[in-house]
Amino acid sequence: MRTCLVTGAGRGIGRAVARRLAAEGHRVALTARSADQLEEVAAALPVPSLVLPADITVASAVEETFTAVETRWAGVDVLVANAGAGVSAKLADTTDDMWQAQLDLLLTAPFRCVRRAVPGMVGRGWGRIVVVASVAAKRGEPYVAAYTAAKHGVLGLVRAAAAELAGTGVTVNAVCPAYVDTPMTDATVAAIARRTGRTPEQARAALAARQPIGRLVTPDEVAEAVWFCVANGAVTGQGLNVDGGAVQS
């Protein structure tokens, strides 16, 4: 049984990842800002779980979260850095605060988690780090400059960490989904509807059509890609696209 820590575990992809890890018999520590959502996820898991509400963008919260896992169980063997949110605005309308908030959540917080996890993993000679990035880490997207820049940055972090840790027993990978059927995409649909005058149904259909498979990706499909990165010790430094064929690499 491995000890796993999933950030952004209260809903969407994080919830699906927690279920997938639990299905393999691993105990799972769950962190996100919403305690109620975490408790709901934990109650449905068939393995020991640990609920750790926290705002992962606060520097001290990373240390406190890892320490709580280590105190209750043991060192973190599997880190899935999933917490995320998107902000949409024209480049000229993207404020410094919007820019910084996206970097804090999507790049700095994963960096702090990876930095905190690595020494213990290297010391034990085994570890798996998976960052949930985005296809926006692979290409430019309009109206999400801050989000896209942060996701490009976190993919760079993954590649650098994988290169540094190769041979230690620790792998570092990113999973890069397109539009996933999650509350985050619901917010995107609402924003498109407000901006364009389309109905929510039309906006959702437009997002689905951007994937060659013609539909949104499911959270379980992303979780399966995360599990592949955990299960396969020969895969490291990769950005695995889960996007219905939108970005071929």
Active site residue: 147, 153, 165, 216, which one?
A: 147
> CA 27, 184, 225: angle at the middle one, nearest 5?
45
Q: Which two tokens stand for residue 195?
A: 């901006």
* Burial annotation 134-173 (CB, 10 A radius, 16+ → b, else e): bbbbbeeeebbbbbbbbbbbbbebbbebbeebeeeebbbb
147 catalytic? Reply is yes
Distance CA 132, CA 86 (A): 13
Distance CA 67, CA 10 (A): 20
Query: Tokens 């902000």, residue?
Result: 87
Sheet holding 239-242, edge to edge: 49-51, 27-31, 3-7, 78-81, 127-132, 170-177, 239-242
169 in Cβ contact with 108 (< 8 Å): no
Residues annotated catalytic, as ranges: 147
